[in-house]
Amino acid sequence: MPDRTDPILAPPDYQRGIVNLMASIAGALGASTPHPPLATLPPAALAGRRHLVLLVVDGLGHDWLLGRTGVLRDQLRERLSSVFPSTTASAIPTFMTGLAPAQHGLTGWHMYFREIGAIGAPLPFRARLGRQPLAQAGVTPASLLGLTPLFDRLPRPCHVVAPHAIVHSDFNVALSGRARRHGYGSLEEMFATVAALLRDGAASYIYAYWPELDSLAHAHGVASPEVARAFAALDTGYTAFLDAIAGSDSLVLVTADHGFIDTPAADCIDLDDHPGLRETLLLPLCGEPRVAYAYVRAGWERRFEAYVAAHLADRVDLYRGEAVLARGWLGPGAAHPALAARLGDYILIPRGRAILRDWLPGEQRHVHAGVHGGLSPAEMGVPLVVSDPADPD
């Protein structure tokens, strides 16, 4: 079967990635994860501070940040690797548990959960068909995901700062654990909330999440003026925030879950145009437009492979699910018991800027201007910014 190694791919690095950043943070705060800490930012470099802040800016790619100006660019320490797939649904659980996708088992926006016999979206925690909350069917994140939040293993007060719309969501509540949750409605309110917590006195770990860059990049493209303006506002707010918390004995780390590429509508591969491929599938494509999981009807494997080879081989790379596991793209260590089932029989990875879309009846059809999830350097590389408010250099 087809299985091409693309020289422009940037597979995740689980020695120098966000997984390792979380190991450094955990180690500095008296806990551990199954992964090694960053050699360039070991736990000892973070320990001893009264407050440690991790700000995750959704969609802020390392390569994109290199082309900006401002304090975030000035205080950029290094390039880190995201996880595979390079998407919020797989990276945010890493930030909140300290685990790689191989361990936490969350493999993309849409996942087939064999445990409940349905395709769901884990972050909004709803079924794909009809978008109904899974909680209405009696399914909870604790019962379905079975994950222990990193916050519950840290021997100091922890806080989660996120937008009002998601801070008390089923998913966020489950992975925040015993951390106190604080909602905000604007960029200014986010920074003010974190600053107030730092002035509160008690030693703390604060995880803050800012989603606007991601939303704008999806809607307008990462190269758009809308994204540039939003970044400028973020950088201005961050500069003022650092001034406001000077002397608080805090260290602030800024990173992201993934980067972005822009994709034109002409690069969308729609399964409506490939009924012969859709006929071979047991389920709709799961995962992401940049990394799709195919569940193939029993006995139709050769027909599926032949169709991809004949009609899509110039635009899509095809892997068996077990081959991707063997490559270690989801991380080292013991795998989540449901991981193999959540990757499907085959994995389709579009080349270049292409995406794959498969729609259910009633779904609102759209093509994002900016996308992520794949293995390109722009999607996989995220920044590590280290700011010491007591040290202007």
Q: Could you tell me if 348 and 292 are in contact, meaning their C-beta atoms sit under 8 angstroms apart?
A: yes
Tens digit of pLDDT per residue, the chain (393 long)? Answer: 444 445 467 899 999 999 999 999 999 999 999 999 999 999 999 999 999 999 999 999 999 999 999 999 999 999 999 999 999 999 999 999 999 999 999 999 999 999 999 999 999 999 998 889 999 999 999 999 999 999 999 999 999 999 999 999 999 999 999 999 999 999 999 999 999 999 987 899 999 999 999 999 999 999 999 999 999 999 999 999 999 999 999 999 999 999 999 999 999 999 999 999 999 999 999 999 999 999 999 999 999 999 999 999 999 999 999 999 999 999 998 899 999 999 999 999 999 999 999 998 888 887 799 999 999 999 999 999 999 997 545
pLDDT, tens only, 153-184: 999 999 999 999 999 999 999 999 999 999 99
pLDDT of residue 2: 42
Q: What is the pTM of this model?
A: 0.96
Q: What is the pLDDT of residue 5?
A: 46
* pLDDT at residue 8, as a whole number: 61
Compute the distance between CA of residue 251 and CA of residue 20 in angstroms, rounded to an integer. 17
Give the whole-angstrom CA distance, residue 344 versus residue 94.
21
Residues 6+ apart with CB under 8 A from 281: 294, 295, 296, 297, 304
Closest CA to 144 of 178, 183, 93, 180: 93
Contact in structure between 19 and 90 (CB atoms under 8 Å): no
CA dihedral 342, 344, 346, 347 (to 10 degrees): -30
Q: What is the pLDDT of residue 361?
A: 85
Reported as half-sphere exposure (CB side, CA atoms, 13 A), residue 46 has a value of 28
* 3-state secondary structure string across the chain: CCCCCCCCCCCCCCCCEHHHHHHHHHHHCCCCCCCCCCCCCCHHHHCCCCEEEEEEECCCCHHHHHCCCCHHHHCEEEEEECCCCECHHHHHHHHHHCCCHHHHCCCCCEEEECCCCEEEECCCCEECCCCCEHHHHCCCHHHHHCCCCHHHHCCCCEEEEEEHHHHCCHHHHHHHCCCEEEEECCHHHHHHHHHHHHHCCCCEEEEEEECHHHHHHHHHCCCCHHHHHHHHHHHHHHHHHHHHCCCCCEEEEEECCCCCEECCHHHEEEHHHCHHHHHCECCCCEEECCEEEECECCCCHHHHHHHHHHHCCCCEEEEEHHHHHHHCCCCCCCCCCCCHHHCCCEEEEECCCCEEECCCCCCCCCCCCEECECCCHHHHEEEEEEECCCCCC
Q: With left for phi above 0 and alpha for psi between -120 and 50, is residue 294 left, alpha or beta?
A: beta
pLDDT for res 4: 46
Strand partners, 183: 162
Sheet holding 158-163, edge to edge: 76-81, 381-387, 250-255, 51-57, 204-210, 158-163, 180-184
Which domains are present in the chain?
Answer: 18-261+376-387 (3.40.720.10), 265-371 (3.30.1360.180)
